[in-house]
Amino acid sequence: MRRLPSSFYTRDTHLVARELLGKLLVRRWRGRELAARILEVEAYVGEDDRACHASHGLTARTKVMYGEAGHAYVYMIYGMYHCLNIVTEQANFPAAVLIREVAPQFATSAETDGPGKLTREMHITRSLNTEYLAASDKLWLADDGFSVASSRIIRTPRINVAYAGADAKLPWRYLYQPKRLTQSA
């Protein structure tokens, strides 16, 4: 199992998003390693993307997106949930990939099919904002050799970004469909 190096993140955000599907998200928490396979992500790319938090420029919150790729961008949403993003691209170009759904590889009774649920189950909070995934002992990503066929990757518009106008229609959500869908007559 190989930890993803910083060079993995310093690339086109859509490429990183696709390649994050099937990778393992690992959280070391209270002496245990909680691993989960990434199933669904969304790309947020630059100040021109009206759905991206950086669309209003550099602020205290978005500063991490302007920094070096491979850092975690964790923010609180609706006063009670956290969302985990991975910063991508060159420094000074604000972009990130939102992790939306994972398949836990650890024992858990709760669902993890949503960005707020997975952070809750994996104990990911704003204390991990700006964490450097290429070197952290608390949060990182790994490649265990699991292969994702490109034919199993689906693109759709991003979720809950109606405020972004025309950018809400961009197919920047990537889903890995490990199971064959039931055929309909």
Contact residues: DNA, CB under 7 A: 42, 44, 51-54, 56-57, 59-62, 65, 73, 75-81, 83, 85, 96, 98, 111, 114-118, 126, 158-161, 163
Q: Which residue's CB is nearer to DNA, number 35 or number 122?
A: 122
Please classify residue 64 by burial: count the beta carbons closer than 10 Å to its beta carbon, then call 0-12 exposed, 13-18 middle and 19+ buried. buried
Q: Which residue's CB is nearer to DNA, number 5 or number 114?
A: 114
Q: Which residue's CB is nearer to DNA, number 108 or number 144?
A: 108
For 53-90, the DSSP string reads: GGGG---TTGGGGGS-TTBEEEEEETTTEEEEEEE-SS
Q: Supply the minimum distance, in Å, between the C-beta of residue 31 and DNA.
A: 26
Q: Supply the minimum distance, in Å, between the C-beta of residue 130 and DNA.
A: 12
Amino acid at 51: A
Q: Supply the minimum distance, in Å, between the C-beta of residue 1 and DNA.
A: 26
Q: Which residue's CB is nearer to DNA, number 42 or number 146?
A: 42
Q: Supply the minimum distance, in Å, between the C-beta of residue 158 and DNA.
A: 7
Q: Supply the minimum distance, in Å, between the C-beta of residue 162 and DNA.
A: 7
Q: How many residues are recorded in the chain?
A: 185
Alpha carbon dihedral 61, 62, 64, 69, in 10-degree steps, equals 150
Q: Which residue's CB is nearer to DNA, number 15 or number 149?
A: 15
The tokens describing 47, both together, are 């100040």
Q: Which residue's CB is nearer to DNA, number 87 or number 144?
A: 87
Q: Supply the minimum distance, in Å, between the C-beta of residue 49 and DNA.
A: 8
The tokens describing 146, both together, are 């699991």
Q: Could you say which DSSP state residue 123 is in?
A: T
What lies within 8 Å, CB to CB, of 115 at 6+ separation is 81, 83, 84, 98, 99, 100, 101
Q: CA-CA distance, 122 to 114, in Å (whole number)?
A: 12
